Chain A
Amino acid sequence: MSTFVYDLIGLSAGICFILALKGLSSPKSARRGNLIGALGATIATVVIFFYAMPDKNGNETSLPINNLGWILGAMAIGTLIGVPAAKKVQMTQMPQLVALFNGVGGGAAALVAIVEYLNLGTDATTAEVIATVFTVVVGCVSFSGSIITFMKLQELMTTRPVVFPGGRFVIAGTLVAVLGVSGWVVVALGTTPLLILAALSLLFGILFVLPVGGADVPIVISLLNAFTGLTVAASGYVLDSTLLIIAGTLVGASGTILTRMMAEAMGRSLFGTLFGAFTAKPQEAGGAAEERPVRSGSPDDVAILLNYARRVVIVPGFGLAVAQAQHTVRELADLLIAKGIDVAYGIHPVAGRMPGHMNVLLAEANVPYEQLAEMDEVNPTFGQTDVAIVIGANDVVNPAAETTPGCPIYGMPILQVSNAANVIFLKRSMRPGFAGIENELLYDPKTMLLFGDAKASLTKVVSALKGL
């Protein structure tokens, strides 16, 4: 196959990726878009086996390509790991899987750059060395950072921001070291400096993500996703592959926009997300607030309240996802509908562990599409709502976002459940949400709290309701 034909096929794969991203932007074409993307990736992967790449001296190499057995074996192992993971993952754990996939992609890009560097040796041009350094640094940051986000989402470690004394100086110091060693690699052209650089970059990725709080982790995953895209583009430059440049840049650019849109939906600036933990002031009145009386109810109280309602809005959040209560909540909704009660789900754009995550979860439980109401649709209806049930959500209904300038979530659009006649909170404890701020609504006289695991509580409410 000539280079011209090869590049032409590469171009068609690039077009597939553009169409894939375009398709994924609209609900109707999303699934087709993903399949087009997969087609593009398949074309790009298959064609490389039929192309005799020019070697370092520009002579065509012979087919089949070298190390074919190793290559196919490694691809088989990757498939055997990746496909079952993707097929078996619970939908509630899907965000951390995406984080992990992104991380290994970043790691792969860093490895590719290192191998190419070893291979080129002193033949590398300065531009190639700079691109290599960029790929190694950003790929390693993406890898170790994604592992940390995975651990946070999987709750293998605390979801709260991890800040240690002098943390910002350690991070700044590491960054300076990374930049310094990068310069060293460009000047000295050695394997040792490159490996030191990789190690430092891995460390920086960990330090960079540790201070990010649980609720902001999705934004970081999206940012790291964009990073990985850019590393792919840079390694495309080193390997002289137009396709990698196109695909990587597309992901880098769209990932950046997506990150910004997510941050906007959460009412956060990107800067605040990444560095907020360092500037946040300690919460005032945290201890005193615990003492205030709240009205807690039994599952029977909740069932009675629901039984005599005409309109009920269900507001699902993190807690519902964690308790895997999406099927139970649908059971409750079906029961209420059978009693002639008007039921809607109020979905906050960032409810769940990722924007749009709640829609995926409820879809898994076969909740009919027309019952899912987006925030702008449902907010004006809370005035006519008798009961709003907030299940494992907190920050997305916290009126402080509208009333308390200066609080961390001020400015974030919220679901105005406080306008409903009654509010029921299903919570595990009085612990504040991920943002770590008190919710005044919990102390409101019209609020009833039902403590416990969301799934267990809902099951009790359902059986109480059946008995009425």
Chain B
Amino acid sequence: MEPIAIISIFVLAVFVGFEVVSKVSSTLHTPLMSGANAIHGVILVGAIIVASHSETNLELGLSVAAIILATINMIGGFVVTDRMLEMFKGKKKEAK
């Protein structure tokens, strides 16, 4: 990829990242952190890529470890965030 394309993607993503969370209430800080945490679990894609072109046992072993860790991060992260938010939702229903 062209370096300028990568830099553009990076800079634009920084601004989008700043903008989308700039007005979050403190109530949601924990779920937001947890959700963002789950999103970086997408490193799983990277782990799968390196595993698929691993040639030595060392490379394969390390990438299998990376896949396990990344899967825990991604799936566990989304599940725990959902559990947190489920409670917020239940509470609102009751209030009505």
Contacts and interface: CB of A to CB of B under 8 A. Distances in A.
Q: Name the prevailing secondary structure of the A interface residues.
A: helix
A115 B54 contact: yes
Interface string A7-21: 000000100011011
A232 B46 contact: yes
B75 A78 contact: yes
B94 A366 contact: yes
B86 to A, nearest CB: 7
A83 B73 CA distance: 10
B78 A48 contact: no
Interface string B32-55: 111111111111111111111111
Interface residues of B, number: 84
A236 interface: yes
CB-CB nearest 10 A-B residue pairs: A78-B71, A253-B17, A82-B76, A249-B13, A105-B73, A355-B29, A349-B26, A111-B66, A74-B67, A86-B79
Interface string B76-95: 11111111111111111011
A94 B50 CA distance: 31
Interface size class of A (residues with CB under 8 A): 35 or more
Contact of B33 (A82, A222, A233): A222
Interface stretch (A239-247, A269-277, A403-411): A239-247
A434 interface: no
Interface in A1-52: 13, 17-18, 20-22, 24-27, 30-31, 33-35, 37-38, 40-41, 44-45, 48-49
Contacts of B50: 112, 115-116, 119, 239
Contacts of B84: 91, 94, 360
10 contacts: A33-B35, A67-B52, A77-B71, A86-B83, A101-B80, A111-B66, A225-B40, A241-B45, A250-B16, A354-B29
Contact of A34 (B41, B45, B81): B81
A411 B38 CA distance: 33
Contact of B66 (A53, A98, A108): A108
- B9, B64, B71, B76 — most chain A CB neighbours (10 Å): B76
B47 A112 contact: yes
A188 interface: no
A281 B14 CA distance: 38
Interface of A: 13, 17-18, 20-22, 24-27, 30-31, 33-35, 37-38, 40-41, 44-45, 48-49, 53, 55-56, 61, 65-68, 70-71, 73-75, 77-79, 81-83, 85-87, 89, 91, 94-95, 97-98, 101-102, 104-105, 107-109, 111-112, 114-116, 118-119, 127, 221-222, 225, 228-229, 231-233, 235-237, 239-258, 261-262, 265, 349-350, 354-357, 359-360, 363-364, 366-370, 374
Contacts of A24: 21, 24, 28, 31-32, 35-36, 81
B52 to A, nearest CB: 4
Nearest to B85: A31
B42 to A, nearest CB: 5
A94 B83 CA distance: 10
Contacts of A248: 40, 42-43
Contacts of B70: 78, 104-105, 108, 112
Nearest to A23: B35
Given A71-B51, A115-B63, A360-B84, A25 B20 contact: yes
Nearest to B75: A82
Contacts of B29: 222, 258, 261-262, 265, 349, 354-356
Contacts of B88: 27, 30-31, 359-360, 363
Interface centre among A87, A102, A111, A237 (most CB of B within 10 A): A111
